[in-house]
């Protein structure tokens, strides 16, 4: 990859034909040949049943920058517009998004969740956690743990489609979207997340997110995901409808946690509410299954044990 001037991020989104979507040597050589022929990435046309691609999400280019007003050839035209060419990585990302929509019939289900219990438990332990771990306890690990427990109950959502078969995954490799500012987005993977406890998930998330922002992730740490969680709620988003990361069959979106008036036993109360969206592949996940999975997560979080110890 260094010989041909291909960055790690670009390498990580090359469609792979190997087992589990791994990029083989031939995949790489085919990509380099197509890239060299026209100076652009070799982007395959969408297919009805594409070969499995690796399951990392969509990393952004290492040196991506916002379009500059003084870019060569990017001046304003007479009609008041300016044309800025996509770089190789942006073209790959665009193709990946279009291919996912062409491959999977997307369906969306939304669930309202009362986060008051986890907020109170977090408030109870956040200082102890910060003192012992050295980083702050966010809300994300609560949702990650609930997502993992739900996947153990509904394993079809932790699968992929290969032709006319469904491939169930033994382990839950949880992709967690990390924003990189102007450099876009990357999704490192917590491998075998079902074997970690709450603090273990929080540690893994913090470690991967920190090294993602410092551009110190290893290639294997953005590959092999079986299910993805994205959290635009940290930017104030209430509801999102994300695109499935092929060849996975679902992605969970976390909305902003916000105090809202709600009806409790015929009375109005103030609770900390968020909205969860599950985007799923309707070829194998029906609305009933998607709704049951979201309901499990809601009940898991709303019935959080306040006497549960941190460690």
Catalytic annotation, pick one of 4, 171, 220, 282? 282
Q: What is the spatial distance between Cα 300 and Cα 149, in angstroms, rounded to a whole number? A: 9
Q: What is the spatial distance between Cα 301 and Cα 146, in angstroms, rounded to a whole number? A: 7
Q: What is the spatial distance between Cα 258 and Cα 114, in angstroms, rounded to a whole number? A: 10
- Give the contacts of 97 (CB within 8 A, at least 6 positions apart): 58, 243
Q: What is the spatial distance between Cα 126 and Cα 114, in angstroms, rounded to a whole number? A: 19
Q: What is the spatial distance between Cα 151 and Cα 296, in angstroms, rounded to a whole number? A: 10
Catalytic annotation, pick one of 214, 286, 305, 307? 286
- Give 90: exposed, middle or buried? Use CB within 10 Å, 0-12, 13-18, 19+: middle
- Give 14: exposed, middle or buried? Use CB within 10 Å, 0-12, 13-18, 19+: buried
Q: What is the spatial distance between Cα 201 and Cα 178, in angstroms, rounded to a whole number? A: 15
Instruction: Verify whether residue 286 is a known catalytic residue.
Output: yes
Residues involved in catalysis: 282, 286
């Amino acid at each position: 990859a260094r010989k041909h001037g291909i960055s790690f991020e670009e390498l990580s989104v090359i469609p792979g034909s190997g087992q589990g979507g791994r990029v083989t040597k031939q995949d790489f050589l085919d990509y380099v040949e197509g890239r060299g022929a026209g100076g652009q990435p070799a982007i395959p046309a969408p297919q009805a049943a594409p070969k499995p691609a690796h399951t990392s999400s969509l990393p952004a280019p290492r040196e991506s920058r916002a379009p500059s007003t003084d870019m060569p050839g990017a001046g304003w035209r007479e009609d008041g517009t300016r044309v800025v060419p996509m770089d190789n990585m942006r073209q790959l990302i665009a193709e990946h998004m279009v291919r996912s929509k062409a491959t999977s019939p997307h369906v969306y289900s939304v669930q309202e969740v009362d986060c008051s219990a986890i907020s109170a438990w977090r408030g109870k332990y956040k200082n102890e956690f910060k003192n012992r771990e050295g980083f702050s306890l966010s809300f994300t690990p609560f949702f990650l743990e609930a997502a993992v427990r739900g996947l153990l109950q509904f394993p079809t959502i932790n699968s992929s489609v290969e032709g006319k078969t469904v491939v169930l995954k033994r382990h839950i490799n949880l992709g967690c979207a990390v924003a990189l500012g102007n450099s876009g987005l990357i999704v490192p993977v917590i491998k075998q997340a079902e074997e970690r406890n709450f603090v273990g998930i929080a540690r893994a998330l913090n470690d991967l997110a920190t090294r993602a922002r410092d551009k110190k992730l290893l290639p294997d740490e953005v590959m092999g995901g079986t299910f993805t969680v994205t959290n635009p709620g940290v930017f104030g988003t209430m509801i999102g409808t994300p695109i499935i990361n092929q060849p996975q069959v679902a992605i969970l979106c976390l909305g902003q946690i916000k105090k809202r008036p709600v009806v409790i036993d015929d009375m109005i109360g103030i609770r900390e509410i968020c909205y969860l969206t599950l985007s799923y592949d309707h070829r194998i996940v029906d609305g009933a299954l998607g709704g049951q999975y979201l309901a499990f997560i809601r009940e898991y979080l709303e019935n959080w044990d306040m006497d549960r110890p941190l460690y």
